Amino acid sequence: MNLSSQTITELKEGLKKGSFRTADILASLKTRYESVEEKVRSFARAPFFQEREFRPSGCLEGIPIVIKDNICSEGDLTECCSKVLSGFVSPYNATVVEHLREAGALIMGKANMDEFAFGSSCETSCFYPTRNPWDTSRVPGGSSGGSAACVAADEAVASLGSDTGGSIRQPAALCGVVGMKPTYGRVSRYGLIAFASSLDQIGPLTKDVRDNALLLSVIAGFDKRDSTSAPLPVPDYGKEMEADIRGMKIGIPREYFVEGLDPEVRSCLAEARARLESLGVTFGEVNLPHTPYAVSVYYIVATAEASSNLARFDGVQYGLRATPASSLEPPLIAMYKETRDKGFGAEAKRRMILGTYVLSSGYYDAYYLRASKARRLIKEDFDSVFKEYDLILTPTSPTPAFKLGEKTEDPLSMYLSDIYTISANLAGVPALSLPCGFTKAGLPVGMQVIGPSFGESDIYRLAYQYEQKTPWHKMKPQL
């Protein structure tokens, strides 16, 4: 029985009926892994296919879940796909992992990612790049490229990723799966190895909207170990999404439909809009006037925080410790330098240097402080649109999946592939990407639904009703 392509909902049904057991699911996934992983390379390292202990109750009982390599799980290697963390076995579980285990899920393995989530193509992983299951000469997007690809390639039922500037949504769009970046504070960050603390959120990547809503219900909630998590109750997203969308008001931001947007992506969005209008949704053009500053603001705030967050990878306590053969410097300084030089890849170094620069005395006001002010304006843009509109609809990524190596030499063009996703992180609002069509070449296209803070239910509602009327989520890549 081929179970690898089934959704959580379908598998739960089968397990409940006794049609198969968890071991059968794992066996199917193993067969699939053995046949396609060579081509896709979704995983940071070989997953576990033997049945690990799981709690025999809960809404994910016996369901295997893949998590990104930057989420700590006790006793497992957690390396952020970076040499500097080589050999790091987490002694504790991230809160989301505890939630998954309490719900009965099994942590099946760790997905490949851009090193420390620095990238939009999964090419900066210290292991190997992940490839797009729809066209293995193309990237899966990033940084949660492995998390998206394993779900798209049916090597996993569902996965968790993390999103700092689009790292769940952009790969979800490029791989044709559903990916949610929840409201900042909705999901605990405890145990997520930080990239940019004020922007990071963990979220689910799934084969359809229902699975996504279910998984978010499990991982969301207040955590006393994360002071930035919100002390708010978690709705039953799966139930709330079934409500009608007739009369919903959707804003289309002018600033998102400009030069640089691929014509095929544009036409997919236009079709999606028509489809939604036929479901009784009304649309209006809106302005998010500070959008042009988002990428600059993001690369100041995110790199500043990253430069500080990544300072701890110094060879003292864990991970790589490199010592130069000989050095004129004091041994400690030489060890620091050698460890960080050998441990971090080029993109990580670039971002830490940038972040260090913008925080330096004499530059702080001009960069970090101004960026913080601009960030507030970007948030106010969203606040004012959401006074009149329920949701905002945009493309997720300006282009479909690009070729491996196409943007690695040009960091700026790589940074621009997150141009539509970055603002939601800066504003802290939730945003979801779901499939909305394919290009003529057969590459998936994603659309992004952005909601007000803690408005996940409405996002799922729109996405679910749209998905019910479209075939995109049922399409499978040929591998």
Cβ proximity to another protein: between 175 and 352 the closer is: 352
DSSP bridge partners of 249: 282
**In the complex, what is the shortest distance from the CB of residue 84 to another protein, in angstroms, rounded to a whole number?**
10
Pick from 450, 466, 461: which is nearest to 275 by CA? 466
DSSP 115-178: GGG--SSS---SS----BTTBTTB---SSTHHHHHHHHTTS-SEEEEEESSSTTHHHHHHHT-E
**Is 4 one of the annotated active-site residues of the chain?**
no
| Active-site choice (68, 110, 181, 407) | 68
Cβ proximity to another protein: between 9 and 198 the closer is: 198
Cβ proximity to another protein: between 241 and 348 the closer is: 348
State the first-to-last Cα distance of the chain, in angstroms, to the nearest integer.
19
Cβ proximity to another protein: between 2 and 326 the closer is: 326
**In the complex, what is the shortest distance from the CB of residue 264 to another protein, in angstroms, rounded to a whole number?**
38
**Is 229 one of the annotated active-site residues of the chain?**
no
**In the complex, what is the shortest distance from the CB of residue 194 to another protein, in angstroms, rounded to a whole number?**
7
Residues that bind another protein (CB under 8 A): 70-72, 78, 80, 85, 88, 90-92, 94, 189-194, 196-198, 224-228, 304-305, 307-308, 311-314, 316-318, 331-332, 336, 356, 359-361, 364, 368
319: left (phi over 0), alpha (psi -120 to 50) or beta: left
Pick from 233, 225, 200: which is nearest to 71 by CA? 200
Please count the CA atoms within 13 angstroms of the CA of 171 that sit on its side-chain side.
Answer: 45
**In the complex, what is the shortest distance from the CB of residue 231 to another protein, in angstroms, rounded to a whole number?**
11
Cβ proximity to another protein: between 69 and 381 the closer is: 69
Cβ proximity to another protein: between 198 and 408 the closer is: 198
Residues 306 and 200: their CA atoms lie apart, in Å, by 11
Handedness of CA 395, 468, 465, 240 (dihedral sign): negative
| Active-site choice (167, 417, 423, 433) | 167
**In the complex, what is the shortest distance from the CB of residue 314 to another protein, in angstroms, rounded to a whole number?**
6
| Active-site choice (143, 147, 307, 453) | 143
Residues 172 and 145: their CA atoms lie apart, in Å, by 8
Please count the CA atoms within 13 angstroms of the CA of 250 that sit on its side-chain side.
Answer: 25
DSSP bridge partners of 71: 192
Pick from 375, 369, 357: which is nearest to 306 by CA? 357
**In the complex, what is the shortest distance from the CB of residue 454 to another protein, in angstroms, rounded to a whole number?**
16
191: left (phi over 0), alpha (psi -120 to 50) or beta: left
**Is 167 one of the annotated active-site residues of the chain?**
yes
Residues annotated catalytic, as ranges: 68, 143, 167
